[in-house]
């Protein structure tokens, strides 16, 4: 039975236009072999993995939940073309291209790249398969190209209009107030599953990037009366500006949904300890986490996001930060196509061999 709080949140979301893209609900998996590998029930909390890598749309991931509301908004605006930005291996860009296919729209992706001719692999290969028009923007640091890619987006918007089409620009990561609805809904789904199982987890771990997921999870947890603390693990720098964005879009989403809850900056702070050298650069602990999850659960993590989120969880278990009596959740946000790119293959193999 859903709680009154969850029923209220669901009713608020039901009043918003939504274009179905994801296969929901996603499974909530009890990771018993992972728990065993981390010392068993006497040393390690129970770990539940929320499988949002299995949202289905174009190989899945967290962006499917946001895109359901963003695509519906684009359709309400009479859009013919979805335009978005990201790094060259952006999961969000790949899933936007996939969503465009399903919704019968065009897609243009403006992608920043540190190499002149990036390999057509992983997400970039899928972008092409999904028929996206790809505009590459060279940059020394994918995260510092924001000003540059904005100028290219403006060009694309002008060109689309000149061709008689109606563009709809989705911000990086799909992190707008409308995108936030996705993880308010994701939280309602999760809290229902937890109630059905009769468990009250203490923490929810996930990899935090552009903060739309965090904004939705934090607002959702408050509005649904969730028992857990939202543990965002940062995968890129720029905390000060990003938590301001998270607060703005979370509260704008709350207003649009007619929810009374508001979130403030201290609730949106992320853990900066697991970023490593920077966005998109795998860490040793992250690669070990990929090998560990593959070996114990046959669940694949990605080198950019989920590996760093799981590295934090594993570290917190090993350092005794949590009691084994706790139950914790790991939200698997997807990203698997990036495994099939260059740059980390040898290290991943080494991490896997080290577990033998």
Ligand X SMILES: *Cc1c(COP(=O)(O)O)cnc(C)c1O
Residues forming the active site: 90
Pick 8 or 211: Cβ nearer ligand X: 211
The residue range among 142-150, 185-193, 265-273, 332-340 that interacts with ligand X, by the rule CB under 6 A, is 332-340
Whether the bond into 337 is cis, omega within 30 of 0: no
The residue range among 247-255, 266-274, 284-292, 330-338 that interacts with ligand X, by the rule CB under 6 A, is 330-338
In the sheet that 203-208 helps form, which strands lie side by side, from edge to edge? 28-30, 46-51, 327-332, 203-208, 229-234
Pick 6 or 172: Cβ nearer ligand X: 172
Asked if residue 94 binds ligand X (CB under 6 A), the reply is no
Asked if residue 334 binds ligand X (CB under 6 A), the reply is yes
Contact 335, 306 (CB under 8 A): yes
For strands 203-208 and 167-170, give the pairing: unpaired
Q: Hey, which residues between 134 and 173 contact ligand X (CB under 6 A)?
A: 173
Instruction: Return the residue of 89, 91, 123, 307 that touches ligand X, per CB under 6 A.
Output: 91
As measured in angstroms, the least distance from the Cβ of 336 to ligand X is 8
Going through 133-244 in order, the beta strands assigned E by DSSP cover: 133-138, 167-170, 203-208, 229-234
Q: Site for ligand X (CB under 6 A): how many residues? A: 20
Contact 341, 283 (CB under 8 A): no
Asked if residue 190 binds ligand X (CB under 6 A), the reply is no
Q: Identify the three-state secondary structure at position 188.
A: helix
As measured in angstroms, the least distance from the Cβ of 215 to ligand X is 8
Contact 43, 37 (CB under 8 A): no
Pick 91 or 139: Cβ nearer ligand X: 91
As measured in angstroms, the least distance from the Cβ of 201 to ligand X is 19
Instruction: Return the residue of 127, 297, 302, 347 that touches ligand X, per CB under 6 A.
Output: 302
Between CA 185 and CA 295 the distance in angstroms is 31
Closest CA to 251 of 172, 177, 174: 177
Spell out, one character per residue from 256 to 295, where the chain touches ligand X: x when CB under 6 A holds, - when not. Answer: ----------------------------------------
Between CA 307 and CA 300 the distance in angstroms is 9
Radius of gyration in angstroms for the set of CA atoms belonging to the chain, rounded to a whole number: 19
Between CA 170 and CA 84 the distance in angstroms is 5
Pick 142 or 173: Cβ nearer ligand X: 173
Spell out, one character per residue from 193 to 232, where the chain touches ligand X: x when CB under 6 A holds, - when not. Answer: --------------xxxxxxxx------------------
As measured in angstroms, the least distance from the Cβ of 242 to ligand X is 8
Asked if residue 335 binds ligand X (CB under 6 A), the reply is yes
CA atoms within 13 A on the CB side of 118: 25
Structure letter (DSSP) for residue 89: T
Between CA 165 and CA 82 the distance in angstroms is 11
As measured in angstroms, the least distance from the Cβ of 89 to ligand X is 9
Pick 44 or 95: Cβ nearer ligand X: 95
As measured in angstroms, the least distance from the Cβ of 281 to ligand X is 15
Q: What b/e string do you get for 95-124 counting C-beta neighbours within 10 Å, with b at 16 or more? A: bbbbbbbebebbbbbbbbbeeeebeeebbb
As measured in angstroms, the least distance from the Cβ of 352 to ligand X is 20
Pick 223 or 249: Cβ nearer ligand X: 249
Instruction: Return the residue of 305, 311, 316, 341 that touches ligand X, per CB under 6 A.
Output: 305
When CB distances to ligand X are compared, the closest residue is: 335
Token digits of residue 66: 């946001």
Pick 306 or 341: Cβ nearer ligand X: 306
Chain positions contacting ligand X, by CB under 6 A: 61-62, 91-92, 173, 175, 207-214, 302, 305-306, 333-335
């Amino acid at each position: 039975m859903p709680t009154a709080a969850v029923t209220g949140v669901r009713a608020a979301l039901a009043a918003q236009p939504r274009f179905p893209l994801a296969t929901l609900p996603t499974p909530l998996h009890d990771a018993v072999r992972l728990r065993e590998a981390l010392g068993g029930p006497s040393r390690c909390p129970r770990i539940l993995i929320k499988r949002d890598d299995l949202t289905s749309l174009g190989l899945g991931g967290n962006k499917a939940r946001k895109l359901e509301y963003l695509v519906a908004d684009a359709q309400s605006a009479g859009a013919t073309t979805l335009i978005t930005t990201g790094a060259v291996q952006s999961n969000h860009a790949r899933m936007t291209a996939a969503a465009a296919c399903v919704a019968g729209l065009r897609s243009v992706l403006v992608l920043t790249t540190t190499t002149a001719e990036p390999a057509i692999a992983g997400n970039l290969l899928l972008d092409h398969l999904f028929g996206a028009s790809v505009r590459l923007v060279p940059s020394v640091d994918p995260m510092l190209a924001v000003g540059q890619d904005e100028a290219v987006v403006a060009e694309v918007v002008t060109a689309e209009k000149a061709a008689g089409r109606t563009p709809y620009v989705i911000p990086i990561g799909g992190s707008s107030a409308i995108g936030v609805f996705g993880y308010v809904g994701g939280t309602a789904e999760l809290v229902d599953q937890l109630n059905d199982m009769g468990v009250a987890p203490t923490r929810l771990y996930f990899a935090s990037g552009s903060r739309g997921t965090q904004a939705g999870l934090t607002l959702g947890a408050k509005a649904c009366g969730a028992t857990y603390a939202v543990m965002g693990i940062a995968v890129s720098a720029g905390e000060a500006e990003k938590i301001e964005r998270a607060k703005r879009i979370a509260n704008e989403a709350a207003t649009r949904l007619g929810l009374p809850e508001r979130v403030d900056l201290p609730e949106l702070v992320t853990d900066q300890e697991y970023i490593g050298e920077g966005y998109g650069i795998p860490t040793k602990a992250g690669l070990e986490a990929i090998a560990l999850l593959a070996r114990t659960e046959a669940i694949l993590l990605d080198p950019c996001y989920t590996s760093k989120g799981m590295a934090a969880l594993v570290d917190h278990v090993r350092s005794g930060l949590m009691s084994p009596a706790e139950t914790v959740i790991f939200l698997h946000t997807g990203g698997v196509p990036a495994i099939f790119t260059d740059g980390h293959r040898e290290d991943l193999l080494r991490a896997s061999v080290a577990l033998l």
